[in-house]
Amino acid sequence: MPQKVIAIDGPSASGKGTLAQRVADALGWRYLDSGALYRITALYARNRRTAWDNEAAVAALAQALPVEFVEGSVLLDGEDVSAAIRSEEIGMGASRVAALPAVRTALLQRQHAFLTEQGLVADGRDMGSVVFPDAVLKVFLTASPQVRAERRAKQIGVPLAGAGFERILADIEARDEADRNRTVAPLQKLPEAHLLDTSALTIEESVKKVLDWYREK
Ligand code: CDP
């Protein structure tokens, strides 16, 4: 039986979050930002002075994450960390802790718990491969590194030329490389996933494409 899940996987800054949230709104389904769980784990480890490569200790923190998702905000230990988890530093930390198998296992059940009868749109790196392998629709979302760096720069108010921009581009390429080449749950396009390159598409066009694929099912 296919699961009532649309799995949207893809590299950093490909627009997964915006697309997944809009598709969820259009269908009246829930939304899971799985990357946020890895980001929160990285932040929590830093707050607890736990090294990002200490697998057992970070997995224990991930297992017991005191996190709540309340009206679009992320609360860690009751504190609003929605902005803090979006920094590039925490993004890098997320990528580091995400490479540890015990951390991924610790976060698995928490991700499964997001699925209810209402349906779920989930975005990340391994939604279709590991977390929801029976998803009714799988989408692999991408865009060129240049386009993704421009989107990220606009989001955080960095000019589209110069050292700040070059750093964003380099960070995106480094994270792509790390996410694709790790041994556990690497970023990959599954044969059954629909490829959606958004380099030349608006958000509306991307949302429509995914809804059309779902309705054709
Ligand atoms: O916003 P961006 O796409 O850059 O990152 P994110 O989706 O918030 O994910 C942050 C990091 O968490 C990624 O670089 C991945 O290494 C990791 N991640 C993962 O391994 N598996 C997921 N399902 C989601 C994120």
DSSP letters of 139-168? EEEE--HHHHHHHHHHHHT--SSSHHHHHH
Q: Which protein residue's CA is at the shortest distance from atom 20 of ligand 1?
A: 98
Its pTM stands at 0.93
Helix (H) or strand (E) holding 7: strand 3-9
Q: What per-residue confidence (pLDDT) applies to 71?
A: 85
Q: Give residue 84's pLDDT band: very low, low, confident or very high (50, 70, 90).
A: very high
Q: What per-residue confidence (pLDDT) applies to 192?
A: 97
Average pLDDT across the chain, whole number: 95
CB-based burial, 52-90: b 16+ in 10 Å, e otherwise: beeeeebbebbeebebebeeeebebeeeebeebbeeeeb
Q: For residue 36, report the distance from its CA to the centre of ligand 1, in Å.
A: 7
Q: Give residue 210's pLDDT band: very low, low, confident or very high (50, 70, 90).
A: very high
Integer Cα distance of 85 and 123 in angstroms: 16
Q: Which residues line ligand 1 (CB under 6 A)?
A: 12-13, 34-35, 38-39, 91, 94-95, 98, 124-126, 175, 179
Q: For residue 196, report the distance from its CA to the centre of ligand 1, in Å.
A: 18
Arithmetic mean of pLDDT, 141-155: 93
Arithmetic mean of pLDDT, 141-149: 95
pLDDT at 88 over 90: no
Q: What per-residue confidence (pLDDT) applies to 133?
A: 98
Closest CA to 105 of 138, 58, 144: 58
Q: Give residue 185's pLDDT band: very low, low, confident or very high (50, 70, 90).
A: very high
Arithmetic mean of pLDDT, 129-157: 95
Q: Give residue 135's pLDDT band: very low, low, confident or very high (50, 70, 90).
A: very high
Q: Comparing 80-84, 85-89, 129-133, which segment has the lowest mean pLDDT?
A: 85-89
Arithmetic mean of pLDDT, 175-181: 91
The atom number, within ligand 1, closest to the CA of 13 reads 3
Residues 77, 131 contacting (CB under 8 angstroms): no
Integer Cα distance of 200 and 217 in angstroms: 25
- Name the residue of 8, 32, 37, 38 to mutate for ligand 1: max ligand atoms within 8 A of Cβ: 38
Q: What per-residue confidence (pLDDT) applies to 156?
A: 87
Q: Give residue 155's pLDDT band: very low, low, confident or very high (50, 70, 90).
A: confident
Q: Give residue 137's pLDDT band: very low, low, confident or very high (50, 70, 90).
A: very high
pLDDT at 7 over 90: yes
The atom number, within ligand 1, closest to the CA of 16 reads 3
